[in-house]
Amino acid sequence: MPLVRIDVIEHRRTSEQLRELADAVQDVMLETFAAPARDRYQIITEHRPGLIIAEDTGLGYTRSEDVVVVQILQQGRDEAQKQAVYRALAERLRERTGLDPQDLIVAVSANTRADWSFGEGQAQFLEGRL
């Protein structure tokens, strides 16, 4: 059950384009991270111009105002799966949204089953409900 945050510059995409971006990310979560169907937790945040500062880390990338930052909080994926998700996101977002791969930043972080509550103040994983 990855929790995905997608950060973009406001007014660069329509609501439909944002949904296509989110759908493409979800498809990669299902295919590459083997997330269960209907296991979709995404937060899309639009920021005023100038409030996403994304330099190139010395790699020579030229970022545009179309930059997309994807943060994935997950558990149990190995390095090979993480590398696969980076590649798949770059490819899928280019195909479906036209995003230049230099405008994509992805960060994957891990947590444990004890770190989740899906509602009602319960720890469903720890209580054996999931």
* Catalytic residue list: 2
The answer to whether 98 and 37 have CB atoms below 8 angstroms apart is: no
Q: For residue 24, report the phi and psi dihedrals to the nearest 5 degrees.
A: -65, -40
Q: Give the span between the Cα atoms of 42 and 40, in whole angstroms.
A: 6
- The label of the residue with tokens 């390095």 reads 79
Q: Would you give the end-to-end CA distance of the chain in angstroms?
A: 11
Which residues, in sequence order, are CB contacts of 90 under 8 Å at separation 6+? 101, 104
Q: Provide the token pair at 74.
A: 């997950």
Instruction: Please report, as a single letter, which amino acid is at residue 65.
Output: E
